[in-house]
Amino acid sequence: MILTPAQQDALVEIANIGAGKAARHLSVLLRDTVQMNVPEVCVGQRHELSALLGTAPGDLLVGVRQAAVGMLTAQVSLLFHSEESQQLVRELVGIGLPMVGADTRALEHDAMTEIGNIVVSAYVGAFADLLGGNIRLSLAAYTEGDLNDVLRHLPDEEPDQESFVLLLKSHMRVMKREVDGSLIVIISRANLGVLVSRIDQWLADLQSA
Amino acid sequence: MQATLSAALWGDMVDQLPLGVLLLDPAGRIRGWNDWLARHTAIVLPAALGKTLPELFPGFDHPRFAWALAEVLATGSPQVLSHTLNRHVIPIRLSVPNPYELVLMQQKVQITALAAEDGTPLALVSITDVTENVLQAQSLIAAARALQESSHHDSLTGLYNRRFMASWLEQELKQAQRHNYPVSCLMLDIDHFKRINDTHGHAVGDRVLRDFAQVLGGQLRDSDLFVRHGGEEFVVLLTRCPLPEALFRAQTLLGALRAAAVGTLPAGAVTCSVGAAVYAPDAPCTPDALLNQADKQLYVAKRAGRDRVAPASI
């Protein structure tokens, strides 16, 4: 499925509103100025995810996943890739050194889960607010491993129902570091169709306003 | 046939859970409060029902909790509040002293949505006591933090030190190449610092170093990195900054220094020389090469009479 430039622009705009909201909440929580934006949104088939993310086999990813149900029915994950991003998350949560034991790792996971929960809620909230409709999220779950590991919880693709991935590249600036993460939305063709028709409706409403 | 559990039995179960459970309505009023909370807060159920958390705990002000609660009530989606980022939500004093001076119970909190029988949205707040885990981790983290702090900052000026710069600059130059932006490097050296030390003593010398850091630090942006490189030598790293802009910024630093009383010395008595170099992503170099290039230019500025920037222009 290919999005039109107007649909792409709409996605970038909605995602940036979500990113702004997430940054405001993270700034309060982390007591540091956090800036977030989404420079690019792209869509592809699920099997293209690795290429879209730019990950090599065996690259370690860390993230948080939540299932969304409602106007947007999809699996939503916030993933940080690359070593420096993980290092930053550790600095953010105030540990900042190689993990020294199982207890500190658990604390780091909890903090990462909360940060991911805030970001996913803010993005998904922006979709619900602007496009109209309810979206409910499941409890946030921490995930780490290579791309196969972090996608392991997903059901296999139905042969007659290919699934797509929306990739919202997210850029974060905090504590003198630039961090790139990605919000990935894994969504069936039918549910992507629902989302795209909502975007078309929103664009039409904006035109006629 | 399966037996249905009565509401009373469910209530008993909630009371026996090894965690705090409370129910809040959209006005923030307490509609449920289990035994665990009653035991740990010494506030019994009848005293809690209908009250808000600020009414029960004067001074209760938790913006993250307030936002999470509003989010759960508005969207029906759950929120988690980690111990690491929040420490606690409900202030519960610890009864047993501990070696790390923790006064309040450390908590992990989860908020999920429920609906009352009349459809009113409610928030179910569950509170897990993680104090034991925190105490076990505390000593390790405290030791690690102290080590990290001392290994990242210069103790006299509070600026970042050379060791921190080395790891930061390596990552920064990788990012600069990936995202195609320049990074400028200014190497600064206080002019005639030895003479200041010899004439006025080391105490004044130390104060000059501290004030120098403060005066120049006031001119820098959040995205700049200011480092004490050693002795009276400092480095300023300017991200996304091409060389002409870096030279202009260096002149601004020199101007601010000339106008300031530094240490116990009058304005104009302390000056510095600056060597500038740039990392260009189309001609990448190592962090050491960038610093060496700036150092060579610093030498040029010193030879040309001090209190100036080299190169003078490009």
Q: Complex ipTM, two decimals?
A: 0.76
Task: Inform me whether the pLDDT recorded for A97 exceeds 50.
Answer: no
Q: Which pLDDT does position B187 carry in this prediction?
A: 97
Task: Inform me whether the pLDDT recorded for A169 exceeds 50.
Answer: yes
Interface test with B, best of A130, A178, A179, A180 (most B CBs within 10 A): A178
Catalytic sites of B, residue numbers: 232
Q: Which pLDDT does position A74 carry in this prediction?
A: 92
C-alpha distance from A136 to closest chain B C-alpha (Å): 5
| Per-residue confidence band for A96, with pLDDT thresholds at 50, 70 and 90 | very low
With tokens 């409910």, the residue in question is A136
Nearest CA in chain B to A100: B140
CB pair distance less than 8 Å for A176 and B222: yes
Cβ within 8 Å of residue B126, ≥6 positions away: B19, B20, B21, B109, B110, B111, B112
Task: Inform me whether the pLDDT recorded for B203 exceeds 80.
Answer: yes
Q: Which pLDDT does position A16 carry in this prediction?
A: 93
Nearest to A114 among B85, B136, B140 (CB): B85
CB pair distance less than 8 Å for A110 and B80: yes
The domains of chain A, with CATH numbers, are 5-208 (3.40.1550.10)
CB pair distance less than 8 Å for B85 and A29: yes
| Span B231-247, average pLDDT | 95
DSSP secondary structure string for all residues of B121-169:
EEEEEEEEE-HHHHHHHHHHHHHHHHHHHHHHB-TTT--EEHHHHHHHH
Q: Is A122 on the interface with B (CB under 8 A)?
A: no
So where are chain B's domains?
7-137, 160-310
CB pair distance less than 8 Å for A100 and B144: yes
pLDDT tens digits along A50-69:
898 888 888 888 889 999 99
Nearest to B108 among A84, A110, A135 (CB): A110
The C-alpha angle B244, B245, B246, rounded to 5 degrees, equals 90
Instruction: Provide CATH code, domain B7-137.
Output: 3.30.450.20
CB pair distance less than 8 Å for A138 and B134: no
Nearest CA in chain A to B141: A95
C-alpha distance from B15 to closest chain A C-alpha (Å): 23
Continuous H helices in A132-188: 147-151
Nearest CA in chain B to A83: B171
Q: Which pLDDT does position A82 carry in this prediction?
A: 54
Nearest CA in chain B to A106: B133
Cβ within 8 Å of residue B129, ≥6 positions away: B19, B20, B105, B106, B107
Long-range contact pairs involving B300-303 (C-beta distance under 8 Å, separation at least 24)? B300/B275, B301/B273, B301/B274, B301/B275, B302/B189, B302/B191, B302/B273
Q: Which pLDDT does position A61 carry in this prediction?
A: 87
Please tell me which residue, B311 or A158, carries the higher pLDDT value.
Answer: B311
Share of chain A above pLDDT 90, in %: 33
Nearest CA in chain A to B171: A84
Task: Inform me whether the pLDDT recorded for A174 exceeds 60.
Answer: yes
The DSSP output letter for A186 is: E
pLDDT tens digits along B278-308:
999 999 999 999 999 999 999 999 999 999 9
Is CATH 3.30.70.270 the right assignment for the domain spanning B160-310?
yes
Q: Is A3 on the interface with B (CB under 8 A)?
A: no
Q: Which pLDDT does position B298 carry in this prediction?
A: 96
| Cβ contacts from A onto B, under 8 A | 102
Instruction: Specify whether the CB–CB gap between B210 and B157 falls below 8 A.
Output: yes
Q: Which pLDDT does position A149 carry in this prediction?
A: 84
CB pair distance less than 8 Å for B79 and A176: no
Nearest to A110 among B63, B83, B144 (CB): B83
CB pair distance less than 8 Å for B133 and A107: yes
Q: Which pLDDT does position A100 carry in this prediction?
A: 47
